[in-house]
Structure 1
Amino acid sequence: MDWLVPDGCGTVVDLAAGTGALTRSLVDRVEHVVAVEPDPRMLETLGRNCPAARALSGTGEQIPLPDGQADAVLISMAWHWMDPQRAVPEIARVLRAGGTFGVAWNHRDVSVPWVAELDRFTRALRARALADGPAGTTAAPTREAVDPPTGSLFSALTEMRMTWSQPVTAEEIVGLLGTDASAIALPVDARSAVDEQVAAYVREELDLSGDRTIDLPIACRCLRATKNA
């Protein structure tokens, strides 16, 4: 947040805000926080979680704000769901000249061997569950996280990467893996079966049981650009 939020920022837009994970960090830093989210259930939860923010229904391609109102527009874990050719001009429209456009992704750090092996094991289980599932069961669509095309509207992108670790139990690892789109796409019974196999793998391969924890490496990649005058 120190790197993404510009000095003197008075109004920030959390675009595709979900249930407000990023929003809650922003309200402690910026006087006016606008959270924009298309899903009505998430928007309702966001309103309960973060009443200090102004919550609006909208998308990256259609932001419900006047021209030049924001000092910063930030997107966390959602840029890959937007149409770059439509979203970039729309973000530029709501930003003042010199405003900041920032994008961030958080992921399990698969450069760490045991994390990469856990991901491979889990993905293989899901692929098998889909293949063995009822006719008509399809995998979740995947989106490549392409960097925003800034063009003439923004300065060149600058990048910041950081890593840290989060202590997690076996149950928490299974829960985190269960938030992946490829897990959510599975039928309920298949998801439960995969979760049980992942839990067994974690207990045996990582020697986790009960409340024992392991430090799960997390990687964050942030991109930032400034709107041209």
Structure 2
Amino acid sequence: MSATTPRALSFDTAAAQYAAYRPSYPPALLDAVEELADRPLRGARTVDVGAGTGIATRLLLARGARVTAVEPGSGMAGELHRSLPSVPVVRGDGNHLPLATASADLITYAQSWHWTDPALSLPEALRVLRPGGSLALWWNVSDDSAGWIADQDLRLRRHLGAGDGAHGTPGGSGSRNLGTLPGDFARRLLPWSRTVPVDTHLANLATHSAFLVRGGADGESTRRFLDEERGHLAAVFPDGTVEERYVVELAVLRG
């Protein structure tokens, strides 16, 4: 799948909302990246591909990584530059990295590998990595072992179509992201959660591509679904706050 398909670029229409409402990642994720890459992030020349609005970029910077962001979408790249003006932003995608050979210690894909064609993006990553460098891929996947999340996922699939994965993520839930990778990737599953107002949870749902290609939060069918979803959530979370539970699926390949 090309990173420049209309669905991949649909995030440009909601870049500010994406930055405001999408979940970040737990500290344990970057601990695991350092362990599996067998090197500290501090000082590592890091390329964050499909960086979006910089959610992962910001965490990598906080660990001392020297980050260059690669992002195909103008709206997402603009939001990243606005919030992280010191980070170099290169327009491009993982299938054709506009970077020099053997120039990176670490390449990361946060929530973005599934937009690439692995037959192109994996050789490109290996080309750009220095000897001994690492490629790290990860996804936040909604944890449907929580009954309310499983119920919501069924409603999402009925509304969006069975081909769409849990909570709008292409490729599905569970271990499907990891299961498509070659066996030489090391893998970790990292559970975590965040507690947010119902409005934030619903706004987060509306930033997924399956909704954005249907007109986003302003589309009539999306508004109707979110209004109905608010009623379902009120029955489970009467205080108006939602515990979103996730499992971060992490895969790291050492070059």
Q: Give the TM-score, by structure 2 length.
A: 0.75
The question of 1:168 aligning with 2:168 is answered no
Q: Which residue of 1 aligns with 2:228?
A: 197
Which residues in structure 2 correspond to 1:117-196 (within 5 Å)?
Answer: 117-127=151-161, 142-143=170-171, 145=177, 147-149=180-182, 156-187=184-215, 188-196=219-227
Aligned AA (2:158): A
What percent identity do the matched residue pairs reach?
26
What is the distance in 1 between the residues matched to 2:55 and 2:129?
A: 22
Alignment size in residue pairs: 208
The question of 1:76 aligning with 2:110 is answered yes
Q: Which residue of 1 aligns with 2:249?
A: 221
Q: Which residue of 1 aligns with 2:31?
A: 2
Gaps of 5+ in 1: 129-139, 151-155
Between 66-75 and 161-170, the greater mean CA deviation after superposition = 161-170
Displacement of 1:62 after TM fit? 1.2
Structure 1 ranges of 4+ moved more than 3 A: 125-128, 140-150
- Residues 18 and 189 from structure 1, CA distance in 2 versus in 1: closer, same or farther, beyond 3 angstroms? same
3-state DSSP of counterpart to 2:152: helix
Larger radius of gyration: 1
What is the distance in 2 between the residues matched to 1:50 and 1:58?
A: 18
- Residues 106 and 142 from structure 1, CA distance in 2 versus in 1: closer, same or farther, beyond 3 angstroms? closer
Gaps of 5+ in 2: 1-29, 163-167
The question of 1:96 aligning with 2:126 is answered no
The question of 1:44 aligning with 2:78 is answered yes
- Residues 124 and 52 from structure 1, CA distance in 2 versus in 1: closer, same or farther, beyond 3 angstroms? same
Which residues in structure 2 correspond to 1:14-93 (within 5 Å)?
Answer: 14-93=48-127
What is the distance in 2 between the residues matched to 1:160 and 1:56?
A: 29
Q: Which residue of 1 aligns with 2:23?
A: none
Aligned AA (2:225): V
Which residues in structure 2 correspond to 1:108-119 (within 5 Å)?
Answer: 108-119=142-153
What is the distance in 2 between the residues matched to 1:142 and 1:157?
A: 20
Between 190-199 and 25-34, the greater mean CA deviation after superposition = 25-34
8 Å CA contact 1:71, 1:100 repeated in 2: yes
3-state DSSP of counterpart to 2:32: coil
Higher percent of residues as helix:
2
Between 166-175 and 118-127, the greater mean CA deviation after superposition = 118-127
Displacement of 1:125 after TM fit? 3.4
Superposition RMSD in Å: 2.2
